[in-house]
A and B are shown apart, each in its own frame.
Chain A
């Protein structure tokens, strides 16, 4: 039985190389995430105003927590909605 890696395809299967996710806070050296900056925080919210998980934002754990803390403060001060249908 031909083992998987011995199978030769007619055309090479091209696995598209997904862009390597990076933590934008470490890369650009941002140290403080301002809860007042609603436009910037909206990058991390989906249409319903919920937070994106780390695997989608690519943030490191330390900065994902800071983002979630800032978003919750923004929600408390009515800068960001708790739940909405069309945020963007």
Chain B
């Protein structure tokens, strides 16, 4: 059971409940296949650094989950098939990343504030 982090960019025309429905769809997919949702963090509407498919804003969603290594293929197929999804990225998290995310979620200071002034 590795730790993964999924980041999905949805089209900005998505309404609030469509966005929730899309999130639920993927979280159900994860839990059905023996995965386990650790953290779901919808960022909502954000402006993009460069236009994707002629759109300059998009809805971001970041999800951290545990899952089987072979499950990501199925997840990728679902993500590619869904038109609402502009772009997605699945990252494997090592133990430092998991600890970083945990501290960030619980508000504990991650090291980056100290390193800002240089």
* B52 adjacent to A40 (CB under 8 Å): no
CB distance from A80 to the nearest CB of B (A): 6
* A36 adjacent to B115 (CB under 8 Å): no
CB distance from B50 to the nearest CB of A (A): 5
Interface residues on A, range: 20 to 34
Alpha-carbon gap, A32 to B114, bound state (A): 14
* B100 adjacent to A36 (CB under 8 Å): no
Count of CB-CB pairs between chains A and B under 8 Å? 59
* A80 adjacent to B49 (CB under 8 Å): yes
Chain A CB within 8 A of B107 CB: no
Alpha-carbon gap, A35 to B112, bound state (A): 12
Residues of B within 8 A of A81 (CB): 49-50
Residues of A within 8 A of B50 (CB): 78, 81-82
Interface residues on B, range: 20 to 34
* B100 adjacent to A78 (CB under 8 Å): no
From known contacts A78-B9, A78-B50, infer whether A25 and B100 are also in contact, taking CB-CB under 8 Å: no
Other A-B pairs, 9, CB within 8 Å; known A40-B116, A43-B118, A80-B49? A24-B118, A30-B111, A30-B112, A32-B94, A32-B96, A40-B115, A43-B116, A76-B87, A78-B9
- Using a CB–CB cutoff of 8 Å, the interface residues on chain A facing chain B are 24-25, 27-32, 34-37, 40, 43, 58, 73, 75-82, 84
- Using a CB–CB cutoff of 8 Å, the interface residues on chain B facing chain A are 7, 9, 48-50, 52, 58, 62, 87, 89, 91, 94, 96-97, 99-100, 104, 110-112, 114-116, 118
